[in-house]
Amino acid sequence: MKLVHLSDTHLGYRGQGIEKMVDDPWRPGVPIRQREADLMLGLIRAIDRILEQPHPDVVLHSGNLFDTARPTAHLLDFAMTQLRRLTEVGIPVVIVEGNHSSPRDRSHGHALRLLAHLPRVQVICHGAQRVQVGAILLHAFPHRALLEGFLPDRSELDLRCHNVLVAHGVADGLPFYKTGRPAVDVHVTNYATWYEYIALGHCHLFAQVPGTTTAFYAGATAMVTSGDFRPGHVFSFNRVIFDGPAVTVEREELETRPMHAYGLDDASKLSPAEVLAYLERQVTAVPPHGAYCQVVVEQLDPLARRSLSARAVEELFPSAAGLTVSLRAREQHWDAVRTSLLEGGDAVARFRQLVAQMDGDATFRAAVDALGTDLLARAAAKVAEADAATGGKDWEVEST
């Protein structure tokens, strides 16, 4: 018996940051964001691969087929067309609800249920449910069931079958498996020996749960959020073969858009021009063509940060498929400002020197200069007034 474990296809997610607009692979001429297209291609490629090889007895999707509980008509059409490619050659499909597919307002109904109108497609989106496909017995726990406290029950096992637990959640509550939107913890290690295979959904990267030999996240079929960004990572699905008591798990890797990281961990001593020069060298060595790219520059001097425009960085990546840029200035503590004001001896002169280095036009700088100089003069007058009253003892300024 063979089972294919797919998960987290997140159809409809559009990504964040700057992304190329491309043709919808399903509707030529309709522009969509690169991420949305890649997620659709991820499902198409996975099904292509499933159909290329000896057909499995069942294809299982362990949650978040769509990124939202209210997919568009176009996405429903797309998903049904892809599922039909499997069902029309006789492969049954079981789809389990994930946290993204679960409607918050239950009166709206469940969009996933529409898919169950296709022959050989079963959708599990309410309570825990058992589904038998030949000798494979699926014990499915959709997001809603886990939320309502349903738990795997050993008495539900049928030892004549290959028992498979399917759940959409966070294995053992481990932080690595958490994503942006919360899901229920599943105490997988408690059940690891009950089932021949545990099919998990929620984490977007392939993973075997530590302390088990049977529990696996299949991972997404393409990059979903920036949390999935891992240079060198290849998205995949799992092929599980039950041969008597032996279970073999094989990872089926899919064509994956490359991901590249660029940046500087400490740019505190660099000018904007130097930062751009380093980034340019990185881009020359690892061209961003057609890749998802992340640029993180840390610890910039606050003045350098103001002068360094994100646009200048973006211009180094014209051929990237997607780009996120993070330019972070080091924290400017008030103590540092105060020291810097005092170290020159004359607070007014030092202040005017700082204002002269500011960005902005001359009129703005002149206004800040006038306002600050006036405030400092008034502060000095107050100090002098207090000195006269106390003999200066309570108003000594520490200069170190």
* Interface residues toward another protein, by CB under 8 A: 206, 208, 210-211, 213, 216, 231-234, 248-249, 251, 260-267, 270, 278, 281-282, 285-286, 294, 296
Task: Give the residue with the Cβ less far from another protein, 176 or 364.
Answer: 176
Q: Which is nearer to another protein, 140 or 264 (CB)?
A: 264
Between 3 and 124, whose beta carbon lies closer to another protein? 3
Q: E strands of 259-383, at which residues?
A: 259-264, 292-300, 322-329
Q: What DSSP state is assigned to residue 155? A: G
Between 34 and 236, name the residue whose CB sits nearer to another protein: 236
Which strands make up the sheet holding 259-264, listed edge to edge?
Answer: 18-19, 322-329, 292-300, 259-264
Tokens for 102, please give them.
């679960």
Q: How far apart are CA 224 and CA 179, in angstroms?
A: 11
Q: Work out how close the CB of 31 gets to another protein at its nearest, in angstroms, rounded to a whole number.
A: 30
Are 53 and 88 within 8 A, CB to CB?
A: no
Residue 2 is classified by DSSP as E
We find the least distance from the C-beta atom of residue 192 to another protein, in angstroms, to be: 12
Contact criterion met (CB below 8 Å) for 168 and 150: no
User: How far apart are alpha carbons 376 and 351 in whole angstroms?
Assistant: 9
Cβ 385 to another protein, closest distance in Å?
52
**Nearest approach, Cβ of residue 146 and another protein (Å):** 25
- 140 vs 267, beta carbon nearer another protein: 267
Q: Are strands 236-243 and 2-6 parallel, antiparallel or unpaired?
A: antiparallel
CA dihedral 281, 286, 292, 296 (to 10 degrees): -40
Which C-beta is closer to another protein: that of 112 or that of 276? Answer: 276
DSSP 232-263: T---EEEEEEEETTEEEEEEEE-----EEEEE
Least distance (Å) between residue 201 CB and another protein: 17
Instruction: Between 28 and 232, name the residue whose CB sits nearer to another protein.
Output: 232
Separation of alpha carbons 389 and 274, rounded Å: 53
Element (H, E) at 121: strand 121-124
Q: Tell me the closest approach of the beta carbon of residue 331 to another protein, in angstroms.
A: 19
Cβ at position 211, least distance to another protein in Å? 8
Q: CB nearer to another protein: give 214 or 221.
A: 214
Residue 155 vs residues 139, 141, 163, 194: alpha-carbon distances, Å: 12, 16, 12, 10
Question: Closest approach of Cβ 92 to another protein, in Å?
Answer: 27
Picking from 25, 65, 28, the residue whose alpha carbon sits closest to that of residue 41 is 25
Do residues 71 and 42 touch, judged by C-beta distance below 8 A?
A: no
Closer residue to another protein (CB): 12 or 322: 322
Report, in Å, the least distance between residue 235 CB and another protein: 13
Min CB(282)–another protein separation in Å = 5
How far, in Å, CA of 61 to CA of 123, rounded? 10
Cα dihedral angle (358, 361, 365, 367), rounded to 10 degrees? Answer: -150
Report the alpha-carbon distance of residue 251 to residue 365 in Å, rounded. 61
Q: Which is nearer to another protein, 62 or 294 (CB)?
A: 294
Name the minimum Å distance from CB 46 to another protein: 19
> For residues 222 and 247, which CB has a smaller minimum distance to another protein in the complex?
247
